Amino acid sequence: MSLRSYILTRIILALPMIFILLVVIFFLLRIIPGDPVLAILGGKAPLEVIEQKRHEMGLDKPIMVQFFDYLKDVFTGNLGTSTLTNRPVIEELKDRFPATLELTIFAFIIALLIGLFWGAESAWRKDEPLDIGARVYSVLLYSVPVFWFGLILQLIFASYLRWLPVGGRIPAVTSFEVRTGLYVLDAIMSGDWKGLLDVLRYLALPSITLGMVTSSIFLRMVRNNTVLILSKDLVKAARARGLKKRVVLYGHAVKNAFVPIFTIIGMQFASLLAGAILTETTFSWPGIGSYLVMKIRYRDFPAIQGTIIFFGLFIVVISIIIDIVNALVDPRVRY
């Protein structure tokens, strides 16, 4: 299969996946008992007002009509209007997405750095203290709930030591202009170095929390795969040629171990987003994760629906990209 037709097949296969996702989200949210209008106005507004509101939202239409309206809306990029704030859900997601993106990018970098270097080094020194430490670390962090780990870090570094802020994304006063919504970038673009330092201080705890928890999986994968490769002939050959450890380990072993790891990274991205939901709530990080939690609390159905669709599409797109890159790196995937 040529690369182009592989990419095409991959994208076409994604379409039914998206459709199933849309159907499931729609019907799941309607099976759940409870009426969104009542959730907001119940016990306060007169009954006529409630009826009128329900009519405005189209909730009195037959379910199939609602379903087709919904499909039409989704395909025209309209994710509905939040019942809580009366704003288009897509607008609210746009406001919030940069926060989640910034958090996941930094968490991902941290996870990758820890996973890659510690994993490779402990494979090199198999069964030595560094390796045992790595194994204990990854088991511990894999089993720890991310919100609990976040709370503990918060307690130590924000509450006792007071080195870092408790939560939020920016201090009360900043002077950089918000352009991209990625504050690190915004601060750099405005040349506001004090602001950049502030932003990084706020970013530190959430991204370390999420990054460390995610790193446990990377660490194990990198270590185990590298151990496997290290016992292979190509490594023996490399060492026999008298290459330095750095070249043998990173140039030959890790590089070869990386293909399966790359697939895992793609899959981990989904769980990284799931972890972001909890991390964001723990640190009052105003991203899409905490947005979803808040909207669930208020029974804001259009917003919940829109957010899940957004999450779903995001993961589909990421996994297509990962698959394509994978196919580029390792031609075996295509056949």
Partner 1 sequence: MKKYLVALLMLFVALGFSASDYIVVGTTDKIRTLDPANCYDYFSSNILFNVLAGPVDYKVGTAEIIPWLFEKWTVSKDGLVYTFTIKKGAAFEDGTAIDASVFKWSWERVMKLGGDPAFLLGDVVDKIEVVSAQTLKVTLKYKFSAFVSVLGYTVGFPMNPKTTPADKFIDGAPSASGPYKVTEWQRDVRMVLEANPKYFGAKPKTPKIIIQFFENSTQLRMALETGQIDVAYRHMDPNDVLDLQKNQTELGLKVYLGASPQIRFLVLNVKQKPFDNPAIRQALSYAVDRDAIVKTVFSGLASPLYTLVPIGWWSHIDVMPKYNPKQATQMLQKLGYSSSKPLTIDLWYTPSHYGSTEADVAQLLKRSFEATGVVKVNIKYAEWSTYVEYFLNGTMGLFLLGWYPDYMDPDDYLWPFLSKSGAASMGSFYESAEVEDLMIKGRAATTLQERTALYQRVQQIAAKDAPYITLWQGFADCEARSNISGIVLEPSQIFRYYILEKK
Cα 186-190-191 angle, rounded to 5 deg = 115
Q: Least CB distance from residue 35 to partner 1, whole Å? A: 5
- Helices 63-75, 3-31: inter-axial angle, 10-degree rounding: 140
Which x/- pattern over 193-212 shows residues binding partner 1 (rule: CB under 8 A)?
Answer: xxx-----------------
- One character per residue 156-185, x = contact with partner 1 (rule: CB under 8 A): --xx--x--xxxxxxxxxxxx-x-------
Q: What is the closest distance, in whole angstroms, from the C-beta atom of residue 290 to partner 1 in the complex?
A: 5
Q: x/- site string to partner 1, residues 40 to 59, per CB under 8 A?
A: xxxxxxxx-x--x-------
**Which residue reads 């189209």 in tokens?**
58
How many CA atoms within 13 Å lie on the side-chain side of 269? 21
Dihedral of CA 77/81/87/89: which sign? Answer: negative
Q: Measured from the CB atom, is 124 or 283 closer to partner 1?
A: 283
DSSP 334: G
CB of 38 to partner 1, least distance (A): 4
Q: Which two tokens stand for residue 257?
A: 């171990």
Distance in angstroms (rounded) separating the CA atoms of residues 230 and 121: 12
- Residue 2 binds partner 1, judged by CB under 8 A: no
310 binds partner 1 (CB under 8 A): no
Choose between 183 and 269: whose C-beta lies nearer to partner 1: 183
- Toward partner 1, which CB reaches closer, 96 or 252? 96
CA distances from 55 to 31, 48, 49, 178, 273 (A): 19, 11, 10, 39, 35
* Residues contributing to the site for partner 1 (CB under 8 A): 33-36, 38-47, 49, 52, 84-87, 92, 95-96, 151, 154, 158-159, 162, 165-176, 178, 190-195, 280-286, 290-291, 293-294, 297, 299
